[in-house]
Amino acid sequence: MRPNEDVDIARRRQLRFYVSRKEKRGAPWTKTFATEDIDLALERARTEADYEVAVFVETATGGFIYWTSKRPDVFNSSVLEIE
């Protein structure tokens, strides 16, 4: 379960999230889904089966991993504050 504060930050900052997957180690990330709803992004990512699936937060300076299937209980909340 993601931290409740993350939803508030995502809404306030109008962040966009996207789900990406890797087919194998060393493969590039492939975007499969995008949304402004953090919960929807996490739900979608958890249903995808691949070598690795991640939810990225999109910022003006690029995309940063918020969650990954490799460490499903860890949420990188600090990336929600990147300008």
pLDDT of residue 61: 80
pLDDT beyond 70 at 1: no
Can you tell me the mean pLDDT for 61-80?
94
Q: Say if CB 37 and CB 17 are below 8 A apart.
A: yes
The pLDDT, as a whole number, for residue 83 is 74
Among 67, 59, 78, smallest CA distance to 20 is for 67
| 39 φ, ψ (degrees, to nearest 5) | -65, -40
In the chain, where are the structural domains located? 4-81
Residue 24's pLDDT is 96
Tens-digit pLDDT profile for residues 2-28? 888 999 999 999 999 999 999 999 999
Q: Please write the tens of the pLDDT for every residue from 26-65.
A: 999 999 999 999 999 999 999 998 999 999 999 878 899 9
